């Protein structure tokens, strides 16, 4: 990263708030297009106004002059497009400046989630302050309030649940003594006129002395607050205009620790814009296209960039064996627009194949997806094989890819150091497909089977993986709708539920921590689960054998790795031993490797009633 070698990289100076907001209003001050939207709530805006009025520190701003080639720029909200060529951009301070601009520089209100809020000062409260601005407890915070505009365009101030007065028209504002903050900087003389009309309204007709006295009180008790706000000195750090883009992004990321933080995708958007590539727009179109192909996979622009990075770095390594396969943040920021465009289409194809791959693995919803991060190497592997060898070869590689995928899930390989692991797995799986040695994830696979009896949360990858393997192996709907598919999954409201309900175990006098583990869970439709309730397995098995036929329902249970007869006899301990072994073998088959035997080789004593086990 080249930095200017002479002079300071920045200058620090105070800027009056009025000058900053005027620049925003005239579109001479703008935002880099990678900035996130403005998201503050009205109470946050109110607290900021109080801080400004009291001259409390409200943080510093980070700015930079707009050079010939820099970032794509956009105006502050609520403007849609720039109406002039900006000379300054705000790198840090968007949320605060947008809040102050909307609340105090324009009279159209503050736009928050399709609602409009208007801020006011209760002039009567300020005028009632016996001590003024410099002595005693100040009244400003008590005087500041906001109202929301309703669907009919009316603004009503409430006291609790009861309306106090309406502020929809200027005359109503004057009558209530509610000074709109949107005119506080008086760019068009509105404040001056409002003040005069308010003083006239509050004075007796033709009583000049009363007007003059009230005007003096305004100057003593109201005007100082307005002046403090208008002249509030915001600390500004201004970067040099010749600062490199990568350095700007790094600085921005470090200082932007509050508000809405950016991720590397936003920073890459800024860097690639200077190279003529609108990353955010291209990704928005791609994500819209892919969302129907991968309903189970959250679509992340950063993950997509990581996929591009490993594809591009493998391409480099094929001509230079010293090159490394990488997808770290700094690697993404170093990608050129040419590189991104070269691999974009192949990776989109890889994502589409990944959608079919994940569906074939029994992953029907995001709730069941073991790892969202596995999409990085998975889609890149599929993209590389297809782009080099064609669709037939890509399909032929699926068994190897499946084995690597499930080994990664059941060793919880993607729970940490994702960038390093993804780059390593991508390179090793591609090499394996091309005739090389097994990847580390497959070669060193070993599953600790005891974890099946310990894992109780669906947030765990192994828990989700077991549910998906059951679907992959042909699990059927308990209610008789057939083999579980995406359509049946959603139509029947499938979710993970107890096989031995906890209330049923209580009836049997059983207390066993394994009751909440994946050994005692499977996917059951909503209606069937309601019918099960807290009943003993023997009861609901009898009911559903009667409804579907004993052979049919027993076969359904078998597809979920369960022994119908053990359930029909309420044999909890025998059921646990049988099902955990079936799940262990299921995992070993998918991973093509050894799943350790359970450590408690000697059966534990059954804590059920003697009659329940007969």
**Is 555 in the same domain as 533?**
yes
**Is 101 in the same domain as 227?**
yes
Q: Is residue 490 part of a domain?
A: yes
Domain extent, residue 579, equals: 450-591
CA 265 to chain centre: 13
The pLDDT of residue 605 is 47
In order of 1, 33, 131, 222, the CA distances from 480 in angstroms are: 63, 53, 80, 75
**Is 344 in the same domain as 406?**
yes
Whether the ω angle into residue 95 lies within 30 degrees of 0, i.e. cis, is no
Rounded Cα distance between 121 and 218, Å, is 13
**Is 342 in the same domain as 457?**
no
Residue 559 near residue 470 (C-beta atoms within 8 A):
yes
The pLDDT of residue 56 is 86
Q: Is residue 607 part of a domain?
A: no
Q: What are the helix (H) ranges across 335-449? A: 337-360, 375-389, 391-396, 398-410, 418-433, 440-443
Q: Are strands 233-239 and 61-65 parallel, antiparallel or unpaired?
A: parallel
**Is 515 in the same domain as 587?**
yes
The pLDDT of residue 604 is 44
**Is 476 in the same domain as 429?**
no
In order of 28, 72, 236, 268, the CA distances from 34 in angstroms are: 18, 8, 21, 9
Q: Is residue 132 part of a domain?
A: yes
**Is 291 in the same domain as 429?**
yes
**Is 59 in the same domain as 174?**
yes
| Sign of the C-alpha dihedral computed for residues 431, 433, 434 and 440 taken in this order | positive
CA 275 to chain centre: 28
The pLDDT of residue 74 is 86
Backbone torsions φ then ψ of 276, nearest 5 degrees = 85, 15
Rounded Cα distance between 266 and 250, Å, is 12
Q: Is residue 243 part of a domain?
A: no
Residue that the structure tokens 């909307």 belong to: 102
Rounded Cα distance between 528 and 165, Å, is 56
The pLDDT of residue 258 is 45
CA 288 to chain centre: 17
Domains contained in the chain, number:
3
The pLDDT of residue 273 is 82
Residue 332 near residue 305 (C-beta atoms within 8 A):
yes
Whether the ω angle into residue 72 lies within 30 degrees of 0, i.e. cis, is no
**Is 355 in the same domain as 459?**
no
Q: Is residue 228 part of a domain?
A: yes
**Is 71 in the same domain as 201?**
yes
The pLDDT of residue 611 is 37
Q: Is residue 337 part of a domain?
A: yes
Q: Is residue 3 part of a domain?
A: no
Return the SS3 of 192.
helix
Residue that the structure tokens 């309730």 belong to: 533
**Is 432 in the same domain as 571?**
no
Task: Supply 608's token pair.
Answer: 């059920």
Task: Supply 238's token pair.
Answer: 């201004």
Q: Is residue 605 part of a domain?
A: no
Cα torsion 332, 337, 338, 344 to 10°: value is 70
Residue 119 near residue 143 (C-beta atoms within 8 A):
no
Residues 6 or more apart in contact with residue 185 via CB below 8 angstroms: 18, 21, 22, 104, 105, 191, 230
- Residues facing 32 on adjacent strands: 73
| Sign of the C-alpha dihedral computed for residues 185, 189, 194 and 199 taken in this order | positive
Return the SS3 of 503.
helix
> Which residue positions in the chain have pLDDT lower than 50?
1-3, 5, 257-261, 603-614
| Sign of the C-alpha dihedral computed for residues 534, 539, 541 and 545 taken in this order | negative
**Is 41 in the same domain as 93?**
yes
Output the pTM of the full model.
0.68
């Amino acid at each position: 990263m080249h930095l200017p070698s002479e002079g300071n990289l920045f200058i620090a100076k105070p800027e009056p708030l009025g000058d900053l907001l005027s620049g925003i209003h005239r579109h001479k001050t703008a935002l880099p297009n990678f900035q996130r939207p403005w998201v503050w709530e009205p109470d946050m805006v109110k607290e900021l106004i109080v801080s400004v009025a009291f001259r409390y520190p409200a943080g510093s701003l980070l700015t930079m002059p707009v050079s010939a080639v820099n970032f794509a720029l956009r105006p502050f909200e609520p403007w849609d497009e720039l109406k002039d060529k900006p000379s300054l951009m705000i790198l840090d301070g968007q949320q605060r400046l947008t809040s102050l601009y909307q609340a105090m520089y324009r009279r159209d209100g503050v736009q928050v989630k399709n609602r409009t809020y208007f801020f006011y000062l209760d002039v009567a409260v300020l005028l009632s302050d016996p001590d003024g601005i410099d002595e005693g407890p100040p009244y400003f915070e008590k005087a500041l309030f906001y109202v929301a505009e309703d669907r009919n365009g009316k603004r009503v101030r409430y006291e609790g649940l009861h309306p106090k007065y309406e502020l929809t028209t200027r005359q109503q504002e004057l009558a209530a003594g509610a000074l709109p903050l949107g005119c506080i900087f008086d760019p068009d003389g509105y404040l001056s006129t409002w003040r005069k009309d308010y003083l006239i309204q509050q004075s007796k007709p033709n009583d000049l002395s009363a007007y003059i006295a009230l005007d003096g009180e305004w100057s003593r008790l109201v005007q100082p607050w307005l002046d403090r706000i208008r002249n509030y000195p915001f600390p500004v750090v201004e970067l040099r205009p010749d600062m490199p883009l990568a350095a700007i992004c790094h600085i921005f990321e470090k200082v932007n620790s509050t508000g809405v933080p950016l991720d590397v995708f936003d920073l890459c958007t800024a860097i690639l814009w200077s190279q003529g590539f609108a990353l955010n727009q291209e990704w928005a179109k791609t994500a819209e296209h892919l969302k129907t192909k991968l309903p189970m996979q959250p679509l992340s622009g950063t993950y997509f960039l990581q996929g591009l990075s490993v594809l591009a770095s493998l391409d480099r390594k094929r001509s230079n064996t010293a090159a490394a396969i990488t997808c770290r943040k700094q690697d993404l920021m170093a990608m050129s627009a040419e590189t991104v465009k070269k691999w974009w289409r192949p990776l989109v194809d890889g994502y589409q194949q990944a959608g079919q791959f994940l569906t074939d693995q029994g992953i029907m919803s995001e709730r069941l997806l073991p790892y969202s991060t596995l999409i990085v190497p998975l889609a890149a592997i599929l993209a590389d094989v297809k782009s080099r060898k064609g669709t037939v070869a890509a399909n032929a590689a699926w068994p190897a890819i499946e084995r690597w995928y499930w080994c990664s899930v059941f060793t919880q390989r993607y729970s940490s150091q994702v960038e390093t692991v993804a780059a390593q797995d991508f390179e090793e799986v591609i090499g394996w497909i091309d005739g090389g040695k097994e990847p580390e994830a497959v070669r060193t696979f070993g599953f600790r089977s005891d974890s099946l009896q310990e894992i109780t949360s669906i947030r765990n990858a192994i828990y989700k993986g077991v549910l998906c393997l059951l679907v992959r192996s042909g699990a059927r709907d308990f209610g008789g709708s057939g083999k579980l598919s995406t359509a049946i999954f959603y139509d029947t409201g499938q979710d993970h539920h107890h096989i031995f309900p906890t209330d049923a175990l209580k009836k049997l006098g059983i207390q066993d921590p394994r009751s909440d583990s994946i050994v005692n869970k499977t996917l059951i439709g909503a209606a069937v689960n309601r019918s099960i309730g807290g009943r003993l397995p023997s009861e609901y098995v009898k009911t559903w054998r009667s409804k579907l036929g004993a052979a049919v329902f027993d076969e359904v249970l078998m597809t979920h790795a369960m022994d119908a007869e053990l359930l029909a006899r309420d044999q909890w301990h025998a059921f646990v031993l049988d099902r955990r072994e079936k799940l262990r073998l299921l995992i070993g088959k998918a991973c093509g490797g050894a799943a350790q035997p359970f450590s408690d080789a000697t059966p534990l004593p059954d804590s059920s009633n003697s009659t329940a086990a007969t």
